[in-house]
């Protein structure tokens, strides 16, 4: 797990916004290559890594999908010495002022998100949080040079450095969903010494934050027998009264929804109980708003399960995760995979 944590800290130090995941894909590929038998990228840029099973051919397969893309900003206008911005994915603008960023222009430019003085804002913006369309990015460059280097449409990523917090927790940007990529990596590490009958497709998908597009196309291309999405969910934090939030270090949350396969829920829960891994049941009355929604309707339909890692302050540059929850999620994935015998698919029915 120490090696996986080292990878995670590297991954959350890299850009990789939706539609521009290449720098991160290369780093994940380097970590997965020694753990898998084949590795490639899809036409959309999702990473596909195959770890072959030991069962008789043709083998059933399971796709474990973790999206690698992140939210961020995009240049919407260049005004004198400042940049106006819009969002890629959903960004909580309340926490942006003062945040360090990296503008991916003709060369990478460090910058900071700033807001005008209150008396210079429209009256409706003078009290309370300032909306995104009033915020600016300052790179420190003079207007002429800024105009030369930066174009409308250039991406802007968060550059807040990661931070080790007390209690084996980690703070940083893009833990949604690179924490899940780390859990899948830990799963692959465990599978190096455990036999599994099924083929395993480890997928780091693109463009989840803007519509789940990478996972949907990967599922159609790979045609797995089963699918599992691994994502983050809301951890209990200040002012969270919703009972459907989960404490840090409480283990993975197992999704229960009309779009998730009940038999897979029962099997994943049984695996958690065998390993004495704490878990929660996450109730969703419709869509899960994760890659699982698209996996289960890909091609002819794929039985799908969702496992989520509790995360505080989601969609901010200071997300917080417990490393123990990542480790437990990786162990749970490996245990579930190893318990799939060659004929398991015949016993997985919706009525179970």
Number of H helices, E strands in the chain: 8, 17
Closest CA to 17 of 89, 112, 100, 98: 89
Tell me the C-alpha distance between 158 and 112, whole Å: 9
What phi, psi does 60 have (nearest 5°)?
-70, 165
291 is in an annotated binding site: no
176 is in an annotated binding site: yes
**What kind and span of H or E run contains 267?**
helix 262-274
Closest CA to 19 of 45, 47, 43: 45
Tell me the HSE value of 179 on the side-chain side, using a 13 A CA sphere.
31
Catalytic residue status for 208: yes
Catalytic residue among 21, 81, 195, 208: 208
DSSP annotation of 31 reads: H
| Integer CA distances (angstroms), 171 to 33, 59, 235, 245, in order | 27, 40, 13, 18
Tell me the C-alpha distance between 38 and 36, whole Å: 6
119 is in an annotated binding site: no
Tell me the C-alpha distance between 271 and 269, whole Å: 5
154 is in an annotated binding site: no
289 is in an annotated binding site: no
Positions marked catalytic: 208
Feature table: binding site for Zn(2+): 67, 176, 209, 231, 315
């Amino acid at each position: 797990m120490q090696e996986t944590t080292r990878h995670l800290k590297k991954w959350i130090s890299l850009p990789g916004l939706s539609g521009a995941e290449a720098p991160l894909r290369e780093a994940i590929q380097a970590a997965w290559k020694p753990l898998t038998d084949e590795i490639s990228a899809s036409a959309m840029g999702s990473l596909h890594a195959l770890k072959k099973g030991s069962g008789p051919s043709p083998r059933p397969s399971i796709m474990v999908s973790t999206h690698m893309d992140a939210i961020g900003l995009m240049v919407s206008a260049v005004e004198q010495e400042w940049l106006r911005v819009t969002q890629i994915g959903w960004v909580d603008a309340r926490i942006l002022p003062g945040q360090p960023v990296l503008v991916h222009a003709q060369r990478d430019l460090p910058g900071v998100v700033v807001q005008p003085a209150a008396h210079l804002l429209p009256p409706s913006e003078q009290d309370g949080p300032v909306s995104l369309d009033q915020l600016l990015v300052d790179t420190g460059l003079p207007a002429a040079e800024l105009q030369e280097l930066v174009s409308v449409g250039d991406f802007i990523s968060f550059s807040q450095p990661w931070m080790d917090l007390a209690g084996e927790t980690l703070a940083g940007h893009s833990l949604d969903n690179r924490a899940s990529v780390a859990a899948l990596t830990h799963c692959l590490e465990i599978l190096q010494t455990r036999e599994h009958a099924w083929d395993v497709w480890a997928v780091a998908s693109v463009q989840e934050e803007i519509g789940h597009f990478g996972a949907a196309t990967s599922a159609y291309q790979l045609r797995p027998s089963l699918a599992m999405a691994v994502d983050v969910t809301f951890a209990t934090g200040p002012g969270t009264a919703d009972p459907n939030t989960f404490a840090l270090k409480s283990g993975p949350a197992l999704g229960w929804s009309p779009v998730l396969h009940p038999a897979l829920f029962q099997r994943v829960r049984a695996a958690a109980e065998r390993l004495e891994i704490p878990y929660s049941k996450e109730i969703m009355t419709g869509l899960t708003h994760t890659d699982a929604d698209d996996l289960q309707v890909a091609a002819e339909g794929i039985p799908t399960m969702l496992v989520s890692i509790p995360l505080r302050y989601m969609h901010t540059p200071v997300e917080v995760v417990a490393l123990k929850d990542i480790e437990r999620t990786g162990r749970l994935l490996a245990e579930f995979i190893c318990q799939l015998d060659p004929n398991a698919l015949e016993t997985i029915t919706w009525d179970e």
